[in-house]
Amino acid sequence: MDGTDDQTIRQLFDDYLRMYSTRDDLLTTYFSKNFSGFTGGGDFLVKDREQWVAITRQDFAQIKDPIRIELRDLSIQSLADTVAVATGFFIIHLPIKDHILSRETARLVLIFRQESEGWKISHSSISIPYYLVREGEVYPLQELTERNQSLEELINERTTQLSAANLNLQEVNAKLQREIAERKQADEARQRSEERYRSILNASPDDITITDREGRILMVSPAAWTIFGCEREEQFMGHLLTDFIVPEDRDRARSQVALRLQGVNSGTSEYRGLRPDGSTLEIEVNSDFVRDADGAPTGMVVIVRDVTQRKQAEMESRKLEAQNRQLQKTESLGRMAGAIAHHFNNQLAAVIANLELAMTGLHQSENPLEQITAAMKSSRKAAEMSCQMLTYLGQSMDKFESLDLSETCRRSLPLLQSMMPEDVVLEPDFPSSGPIIRGNTNQIQQVLTNLITNAWEAAEAGRRTIHLYIKSIAVSDIQLVHRFPLDWQSHDNAYACLEVTDVGCGIENQNIEKLFDPFFSSKFTGRGMGLAVVLGIARGHGGAVTVTSEPSQGSTFRVFFPMCGESPPATK
């Protein structure tokens, strides 16, 4: 179909409405010989043109005077070059006192087909309140007549009741006058309160929205216009709050409301917001119920913040952090490979040299014991380095058992204090017992030794006190910044904590990420496996390590171990 045909179908549809409303029998000539349809009040399908013509004439006979058709909407669609469908929504106004049809929307579908005689109506279907139509009727006239009679009787009854009520109104009038004066005072107070509240709304950079109990918007602050790209308040009024959230987040938003109804405060929620133009944004939502005097919820106050820029910045920051970690990992691996190769070359050179001397001594009938001992010493150093690397990787084969962390560390203190310089003071603060962890005694002592050694090497003259604490900490209190391993995930609600704090030189922020890399050290050449072993032991125990430090202010290292409910074995 082209534009001309479209105009033709529209004209045919208008002609249909005109002839139908004027009860013009000429309408029956517009029906195709191959016709089907059903009436608004019928419960059967008409498959014969003559039967449809008879029904149409019955319609005209039942209502002889013209009717008025109020067209509300119309759609014309082309189904093929010779087929088109017209769908119209309209209201029928009968020439009688009618309080039913004039409130109902009738729906009419006409299918036009181009035949040899021109465009014809091959199908007609109309829907009206069919449940009111009685047998032999096209329109529910009998029902309307009976209803009008009932209405007249009801009006008479109501008139009598209103006369009696009028007397009561006179008695109530005086009371109302007093209540009006009280209400006026309350309204003035409410108006002053609303003005203050409106000032808050206007000043807020976040959207403050008030809804009814079903979540329909009653009021928004001016910030909502900017956040959601709207130009007037009417674009919000009456809409559900969830209409401004993308469909895939709406069930989660409803669940949050349900939780709040149950008294569960889940805190701030984040969703993807939806603007009227279809664009999306990242929003942060806080909400609470507005309650009546009895505590029953009557609505909600919702605060919406646009966090799109913050989210984008966080995403960019995560990308940069990932790139930085990859660079640090590459640097760490290179440093580790070089240090291991250097260390093993030194030890192997010592082993080879001493074994060659031993062989020379055998030929000269000398005792090679000293050279063999030196070779064994170098071999043990190489083996110790291998064990440290396995510990760093969390692959140690040491046996784990239930340990009292306080008692294990307490037994290590005498040896540690004998190793420290005389001017270094160690101040332990342990509970009498516990917490209980599942671990390896030697590895826990190694963690303690390495951290204490690291602390006294960082200590400066006049500030050589080291504090040692053991305690239990809730997982929510474990810091996120400078926590290692970076991919550590907590699985318990609380952890045992071994904390070592010094007031030494502190650590530059850019060096904290490298502290646990094998062979990294900012203090001494050839050192650097101590903290790497600490991290490896923590990793092997399913725990983590955090670092807090400021240059010239000292450092705090905390090692977290999962706690267990088992009792430690008795000390022998």
Tokens 């342990």 belong to which residue?
Answer: 430
Are residue 359 and residue 454 in the same domain, yes or no? no
pLDDT of residue 37: 94
Whole-model pTM over 0.85: no
Q: Is residue 96 part of a domain?
A: yes
Please check whether residues 243 and 326 belong to one and the same domain: no
Number of domains composing the chain: 4
Q: Are residues 424 and 462 in the same domain?
A: yes
Closest CA to 126 of 112, 114, 111: 111
For 462, residues 6+ apart whose C-beta sits below 8 A from its C-beta are none
* Distance in angstroms (rounded) separating the CA atoms of residues 329 and 522: 18
Q: CATH number of the domain that 490 lies in? A: 3.30.565.10
Q: 68 lies in which domain range?
A: 3-139
* Residue 572 confidence (pLDDT): 46
Under 8 Å between Cβ of 63 and 23? yes
pLDDT at 134: 60
Neighbours of 240 (CB within 10 A): 13
Q: Mean pLDDT per segment of 10 residues, for the chain of length 572 residues?
A: 80 95 95 91 86 92 91 93 94 77 86 93 83 59 65 80 82 85 87 78 83 89 87 86 92 88 82 91 90 88 90 85 66 58 62 66 62 69 60 64 92 87 89 91 90 85 82 92 89 93 87 80 58 88 92 91 76 50
Contact (CB, 8 A) for 508 and 457: no
Residues 525, 508, single domain; the answer is: yes
CATH code (residue 252): 3.30.450.20
Phi, psi of 503 (to 5 degrees): -115, 40
Go through the chain and tell me how many residues it has.
572
Structural domain ending residue among the three candidates 107, 139, 171: 139
d(C-alpha 165, C-alpha 366), whole Å = 134
